[in-house]
Amino acid sequence: MNYEELLAFAGRNPMLSLAFAGLTVALIATEVARLFRGYKALKPAELTRLINSGDAVVIDLSASSDFEKGHITGSRNVQAAQLVPGHRLLASARQSPVVLVCRTGNASATAAKALKKAGFEQVFILDGGLPAWQGADLPLVKGRG
């Protein structure tokens, strides 16, 4: 296909061409925004490696009742409203990797932005939340932790 054929196709299919252009712009904007958001989304295997390295602080933002039903080993339960830079769990973690986990990934993304803005250097979220963790056949523990 050459340039003239491409232009002829676009002329015959203006709505399809506009939809393609819009999707392309949306994809580029999403990727650029992802690069500048300040935190990284981890896959379950990446989080496992980070936990095994021993210095990660894993914070589960779930409601207490959900946390007790199942959470990642070693994670601490902190409500999103209580997650402030002066929180006792975070006070010494400014240089440590801080991983935020929730049930969907939405609450952790919001909290990650706030921590980055507060000066935390290594902020991560679990991509897909706890369902992604379970989908990778990784264990959850029950109880207060």
Tell me the catalytic residues.
102
Residue holding tokens 């975070």?
90
Q: Rounded to the nearest 5 degrees, what angle is found at the Cα of 120, between the Cα atoms of 115 and 122?
A: 105
Nearest to 44 by CA among 35, 52, 33, 36: 52
Cα dihedral 57, 49, 41, 136 in deg (nearest 10): -110
